[in-house]
Every structure is written in structure tokens, then in C-alpha cells.
Chain A
Amino acid sequence: MLNTRNTTLFELSGVRQAYAKPSGQDYVVLDNVDLSLRDGEIVGLLGRSGSGKSTLLRIVAGLVKPTGGSVRHHGEPVTGATDGVAMVFQTFALFPWLTVWENVMAGLKAKGVPAREAEARTEEAIDLIGLSGFESAYPKELSGGMRQRVGFARALVVHPEILLMDEPFSALDVLTAETLRTDLLDLWMELRLPTKSILMVTHNIEEAVLMCDRILVFSSNPGRVAAEIRVDIPHPRNRLDPQFRAMVDDIYGRMTARKPLVAPSPAAKQPPAHAVPLEHVSTNLLAGLLETLASPAYHGKADLPHLAGALQHEIDDLFPIAETLQMLGLAEVAEGDIHLTEPGRLFADSGLEDRKQLFAEHLIRYVPLAAHIHGLLKQSAVQRVPSSRIRAELTPFMSVDYAEETLKAVTSWARYAELFTYDDETETFAFEDAD
């Protein structure tokens, strides 16, 4: 099983992807990434959103040309769409005007496969992936799970050497995703898939441990490989197996270790304290998690994987909440655990008015951007600060999208804390009772 781990199919080294920005400073998505894909293995790219893992997948597919580094397929440099690579999309990306049959056959037609062979292979792929009977259906007549099966059939029918999967199960509900995962793994283990290697992007730690032989954990801003983990648990893997749990906990621990994931940008000018990207997390979620942690079920301390399971949250949902609480000094996150701080417990036990006051104090103390805007408002004669000014202070140090997200985050928190508010018509920050 998975024996021939010798041939290297695909190799990336020192890959860098950056976008030039008007300010002159590059916005770096991927920095110095090495990756090799070998015959017979499933490799997972695991990371938070914004860690550039989807971009990396597109570089392998030849859809995106990296700004630096080398990309080699069987030792040959890649130019244009890579040969022998097929992709399964998170959003399925089926052509809505083609039937299941036509969608699956599209890739073969493009390759100029003779009609007879194309039909035989299409039928084979449709049978293999469990779509028989649905050939004449249009994608919108199908459920999400069936649509993604079409996505798999369409990719496999071209007999790709490497199958790329971009969060293929994340748009599906929990049960459907599990069915598809095990179906795919069974086919892979039985060597019935016409493909030599699978490279998949995921933000679900359990999924990565369940499916992959190797996991590359990515850090964010810019995306880098923070760790490479080999998974040697034999298939079929059992989620309740202690070894499995230990590995999941270990990855959680690595991903929540204090400050390892946002690597300092070396050449860049050090930004002022308030020009740090913030992720918008609703105050309802913050309060909700604090209350959950304070409840008798947890007594102020919880294991993150356990919490994620109990709340049916994936890491992209749970981590931002946990990290925001940590940033605000309301909780501590370390080694895959989260526990309430004293103020965090106080918050959970208070009424709305006290909560707001506590939140406002912490916002001023721990979120430099909130303190900055608050300070500017106090100084301003008209008690108004245009958002364009703040945006201009942020954009030299982050992408426009991050700046938007950051402003959105600070606005919503400040509104909750009744620290200051934002007028959408004039696009200015102002004190609550101004005007």
C-alpha cells in the first residue's frame, strides 16, 4: 500500500507570490515555499484563510504564475496550464448549462479524445464515482454532494497524474462531506483512482489527518510552510483512535502556539502599533464563547479540538474568535487549549452595561487602532474623523481587503462598546452623541 514513494512528480522550490502595491511595498501572499509531490501520496495543505494555500494549488495547476521560485513537473519548468493535472473546486465550478454527462466529457473533448473512447471513459468515471442514473441531469437539479461528485468525475475522467482539490468538502454539510471523503479514500486505497497523487487544500484539521500522508501547515501573512507533518496512521483511520486524537491535538497546538503563525516580514518597515490587521469577529460570537467557557460544562477552560467538535466549528470559525479574545485579554490560548482570564470571567458574569464598559476599557488598552481613532476624535475640533484618513494609514502595511476588514472589525467593536460610532453617509467616525 502506498509503496512507491520514490518518484517525484512535481516540485516547487522557493516559490514566492507577491502583488505590487501603489505604495511600493509588495503585498506578499506566499513566501519561500518548497513542496514536492511524490507518487502514491496524498498531501494536505492546511492553514487559515489568507495563508495562500489556494494560490499555491493554482500555481501547481499552472493557472497562476508565481513571481519567484521554480516550478517543475517531471523536472521540466511549467509554463501555462500544467499537463496531467485536474482540479476539484470548492464551489464545484460545474457549467450550469451542461448536463452531468456533458460536464464530465468536457475535459476529454478539449483533449481531442476520439468520441468512442471519450464516451466509454465518461461512463466509466460516472460509474466509479457513483453518479449512474444522473447523466442527463443539470447541475442545479442536484444536491451539493451530487454536484461535487460530478466535480470528481470530471477531474478523474481525464486520468490526471495529480488530482488537485481545493477545499472540496467545505461547501457540503457534515454528513455529506463525510460520505464523500470515505468514498474517495476507499477508491484511493483500492487503487481504483486513475491518478498517482492527490494534493488537497483544507482548513479542517481532522480532515487532513484522516486523509493525508503528509500535511504542510501554513502560517499566514505571508503564507509560509510552518511545519511538515507525516501521518503514519494506517488506513482506514479511526477518528477516535488515541493516536489520531494525539495528532489532531498536536496540530491544534502548533496552530495556536503563541505568535508563531504571523511571521514578521523581514525587509518591511515596522508598522506602527495601530496598523496591524484585525479580523472582524462579531461581538455576539465573542460573548457567546466567553459564556460557553464560563458555563459549568467547561469551568473556564477547554480543549480547542473538543470545543470545535462540540460547537461544530471548523478552525476557520473558532480560531479567529479565540484569538480575538486573547488579543483583548479576555482569554488565553496556548497548546490547543483556551482558558478564561479574570476579566474574561468577569465579562461572562456581568450584565450588558458592565460588559460594554469592560469591553471599552479592553478595546482602548489592547487594540491600538481603537485607541488611535478614539484619541483622534478627542482632539478633533469637529469630533469627526474621516475613515479615508485611517484607511490611508493602514494601506501601506496591508492589502486593501485587509484594511477594509480591519476597519469593519474596529467599527463593530467600538459600536458595541459605545466608544465611538461610524456614519456610513459621511464615512466618518464620530462620538455617539455628536451631531
Chain B
Amino acid sequence: MVWINTNISVKAADAAPNRWDVVALPLVIGLLALLAIGGHQMALPLGSVEEVPITLDPWMLPEYALRSTLRMLAAMAASLLFTFTYATLAAKSRRAGMLLIPVLDVLQSVPVLGYISFTVVFFLGLFPGSVLGAECAAIFAIFTSQAWNMAFSFYQSLRTVPRDLDEAATGFGFSGWQRFWTLEAPYAAPGLVWNMMMSMSGGWFFVVASEAITVGDRTITLPGIGSYLAKAIDGQRLDAVGWAVLAMLLVILAYDQLLFRPLVAWADKFRVELTGAQEVPDSWLLTLFQRTRFFRAVFAPFDRLFDRLVWLRLPSGGLSGGAAGSLRSVGNLLDRVPSRAVDMVWYLLLAGTGLWAGWLMIAFVASGVGWGDVGTVLLLGGATLLRVIVLIAVATLVWVPLGVLIGLRPRLAERVQPAAQFLAAFPANLLFPVAVVVIVRFDLNPDVWLSPLMILGTQWYILFNVIAGATAFPSDLKEAAANFRIRGWQWWRDVMLPGVFPYYVTGAVTASGGSWNASIVAEAVNWGDTRLTAHGLGSYIAQATEAGDYPRIVLGIAVMSLFVILFNRLLWRPLYAFAERRLRLA
């Protein structure tokens, strides 16, 4: 089964009007700064969280793995809730969308690991003295790594519901609630499920990173695979790292088989297309549920209940009318007065808030950082940018030809494809200690040799997308190339590379976004007392986090977000637009 879709922030050229980014960026970062300020004040009187001792006994790993998985599930549930509300509101109301979509676009570019420190402090303050705060912070971190692209996907689906289906729903007088569950949600399901899968792939990385966090003089550990790993690193226990890797492998495998494959196979029926897909996703578990009388009987009442709920006739005007209904009414409320004057007021309000948030951010940063620092941070950002560019280039040179060669051999592709997708899901930070040991042993330059860690986990996106592109390459074009004896470099340039390019861009966008995020953990790594640091924006943020230096963290995050946004706008979006315009196989 091949899952190909496109990172939404690149695709959303039309959905995200550029001028609003000017408001959105300071708004998002300003909000974070606000969190930091609030958390800072709250945190002072706070007692330390009860320490949960982590043991390196491998037999504890099943329990830890379960805890990590539960965090992942909780975050996924939160992401879904967020998606259904935020995206629906953005799609239903023009005025809300004007603000929400650029904000979402910026949120996608903000490095998750950068602001984990604020959120930890914030949630600890929310639930003083209880482990719940730390749990919430970890879940929130995972949530922020998952929710944005899901919301984007859902938003885009809502905006592109086929007109005839929409008219049919209106014609039959569906209420907002009925329309949502019978038309909009099913229509969005395949894209949403795909994005959930991508989110999940990325999520494991953040689970591992968020379970053991040091902020200032406080270390918070939550029982889980991530903290097990942190402990192993502290004790320089390579064997324990091995156990953690093994446990993670099993967890991802189980997750894939028990949750995702069934979900994907099930979501396939929502595909709106008249020609049948060549390959229908398959899941043994779903088959089991659908074929076994026992499970059919078990699920039947839920089916009926859901059916009843879906067709429930809710008053579509009132705010009491369920989530979708009320979102619609909020949207209606926002859009009710269609006059230009109200538009102007709304614009001014947004712009004013943006300015205020921007000012807040600058003031907060200025309170602890000199202007000289800004220059340094920009320079460090340049260093990380250089790393990302070089790494993407190297990964491209390696994986594009290999991916094409694999993709042209269907039997081989069938085997390599799931492996590559699996590797993309595997949290590469579990393997960092191994790299550190090697670097220390051979006394290598960390500025150079820590860099590959940034792309360790994300390069697979390039591989499996290119494989998918080569697999999908039309056979008549292959035949034409063979018939006209197009070979060698001409074959790559005129035939194959343009064919896989759209897929490549999709993979490379994901890979580069992941690399920025990974830089925060990859540019500064520990092995017991050994500490390796590469010069870059990632290590800057990591160090500021450890020192609990909030103004520096905010500055680092703001600059990194800026770099990511500019990188996406100036490189990937034009490339994607080019691919769409010129290279799409009609």
C-alpha cells in the first residue's frame, strides 16, 4: 500500500494569503512569549514533581512502552478534536479563516521541541505538585507535532467538497450536523487518515524527546520509552539503548497492524472517485472484524448508535446544536454582517493584535537579550540552514536514483516500500547515542558529524515518495522511451526525473521540515558526561532550554520559524507549484 499526499503547507498557496503571515507570525510567537512569561511567574513557588524512578530493567519496557503509546493516543484524540473544530470553523467562516489559516501555517513551521520548555512549565503550573501537569505537557508536545497538518488537510477537504454532493445535501435539507457527518467528514476521511498516519510517524520522535525534559534546574521524567532512553544515556548503557530500540520497533509494528492498517483500509471506502484504485488497502484486523459474526454482533449496536447520532436533527441555528452546528453558527455569527465596514474593523483588529503580540515578543526578548545576540542567532540559523540544504542535497543524490531503480521493479518496491515507511516512523533519536559513541571514539568533528543525525529519520520520506513516483510512472511513457531508444542521461532528464519530481518534492518538504525540528536534539547530544555540540540554531535553543533562559528560547524559536517559513516559501512552494503546473501527469 502506498500513501502519497502532499504536505499541506506547501500546497496551500491559495489558502494562505501572504499578507496575513505578517500578522500570524508575531501572533503565534507572541502567544508563546506570553506563555513563557506566565509560566515563569507561576513556576517560582512550585514544588518539584514527585520523582518516578526509572529503572533500566528490560522487563519494565512493556509497561513503559504502554505508557508512551497511551500518550500518543491521547495526543491523537486531542488532535482530532482540534481538527474537527478549528478546521471546520476556518472553513465555514470567511473572517475566521482569514486569521486561522495563516496562524496554522505558521504553527506548522514552529519547532515543536523549541517551546516544550514553556509548555512544561505552564502545565506544571496548571496542576501544581501533580504528575498530571507533566503528562499534559508531554501530550501537548506530541499534539503540537500532530495537529497542524491534520487540521490543514481537513480544512482543504471541507473547502473542496464536490459541488454536486454539496447541492444534493442542501437539496435534501440536511442540517449542519447531518451534513458534517454524512458528507464532509466522510469526504475528508482518506486525506485525514493519511495525515494522521504521517503525524503518527513524526509523533514517536516527540514522544521520545518529551518524556525526559530538563528545564533550568528541574528535570521532569515520565515513565516511558523516552525516559528509559534518557536514563540509559545518563548511565552510558548501550545495551539498554538496544532494548529501547527493540521495544520501539515492536510498538510501531503493533500500532501499524492494530490501528493504522485497519483505519486506512476502512477509510478507503470514502474515496470519491469513479475509477477503482489499482491497489486496495488491506488489513487482516479489519477483515477479522468485518467477517466474524461475533465482532459483527459486537459492533452492530455501536453502528446503530452512530447512525442515530448522525441523523439526529439538531436545531441548526442555536448554539446548543452540537459541535458542528455550533461551529457553523459561530461562523455565521462572524460572517453575519457582510458590510465592508465590519471587514475593515475586523482587519484592523487582527492587525492591531498582531502588532501588539509582535511588540510583546520583542519586549520580552529584549528584556534578556542584547541586539548583538540577534545577529549571532541569525548567523547560527545560517549554519543550520546550510546543514539542512547540504543534507537534503546529499539525501537527494543518494535516494532519488535508488528510489527510481527500486520503483521500476514492482516486486522489489513492494518489499522496500513498507520498510521505508517504517523507518520514517522510527524515532531516529533512539539511535543518537550510537552515533555519539562513534564520534567520540574516532574523535570526529561534531560540527560535521552530528549533522547527519538531523536527517537520519526524515530521509526515508524522500525514498518512499520517490519509489511511489517511479511505481506510478505510466507504462506507456516507459514504452515510448524504450521505443525511441531514449537512454542514459537523456532518459533521466527527459523521462524519469520530471516524472518523479512531484513525488520527490512531497518527500523533500517533509524531510526538510523534520530536519529543522530534529536539529534541536541533533546539534547537542549527550552520552553520560560527554557532551557534543555543533554550532547552530538547534543547539542554541537546546542550550537555552536547559538553562531555562526564556528570552533566548523565544528568540531562537522566532528565528527558526522565520527560516522555516522563508525556506518553504522561497524554495518548496515554487518548486511544488512548478511541479503542479508543468509535470503533473494529466
The residues of A with any CB-CB pair to B shorter than 8 Å are 58, 61, 63, 81, 85-87, 89-98, 102, 106-107, 109-111, 138-140, 154, 158, 425-427
Contact = CB atoms under 8 A, between A and B. Distances in A.
B486 A93 contact: no
Contact of A85 (B480, B483, B499): B483
A159 B51 CA distance: 82
Given A86-B483, A93-B479, A138-B582, 9 more contacts: A81-B482, A89-B480, A91-B476, A95-B480, A98-B494, A106-B486, A106-B490, A106-B494, A154-B484
Contacts, number: 70
B583 A97 contact: yes
B484 A158 contact: yes
A58 B479 contact: yes
Contacts of A110: 484-487, 490
A428 to B, nearest CB: 8
B449 to A, nearest CB: 39
B584 A63 contact: no
Contacts of A93: 474, 476-477, 479-480
Interface in B127-167: none
Scoring A61, A90, A94, A96 by chain B CB atoms within 10 A of each residue's CB, the highest score goes to A96
A370 to B, nearest CB: 23
B12 interface: no
Q: Provide the main secondary structure of the chain A interface.
A: loop
A281 B483 CA distance: 35
Contacts of B477: 93, 95
A145 to B, nearest CB: 16
B548 interface: no
A63 B479 CA distance: 7
- The size bracket of the interface on B is 20 to 34
Given A58-B479, A63-B479, A426-B291, A95 B498 contact: yes
A94 to B, nearest CB: 8
A47 B486 CA distance: 31
15 contacts: A63-B479, A89-B480, A90-B476, A93-B477, A95-B494, A97-B498, A97-B499, A98-B494, A102-B494, A106-B486, A106-B490, A110-B490, A111-B485, A139-B586, A140-B586
Contacts of A425: 290-291
B43 interface: no
Nearest to B501: A97
Contacts of B476: 89-93
Given A95-B498, A426-B290, A63 B482 contact: yes
Nearest to B497: A97
B495 interface: yes
Scoring B485, B494, B498 by chain A CB atoms within 10 A of each residue's CB, the highest score goes to B485
A61 B485 CA distance: 11
B258 interface: no
A107 B494 contact: no
A154 B487 CA distance: 16
Nearest to A105: B494
Given A97-B582, A138-B582, A81 B290 contact: no
A210 to B, nearest CB: 25
B472 interface: no
B585 interface: yes
Interface string B459-488: 000000000000000101101101111110
A138 B578 CA distance: 14
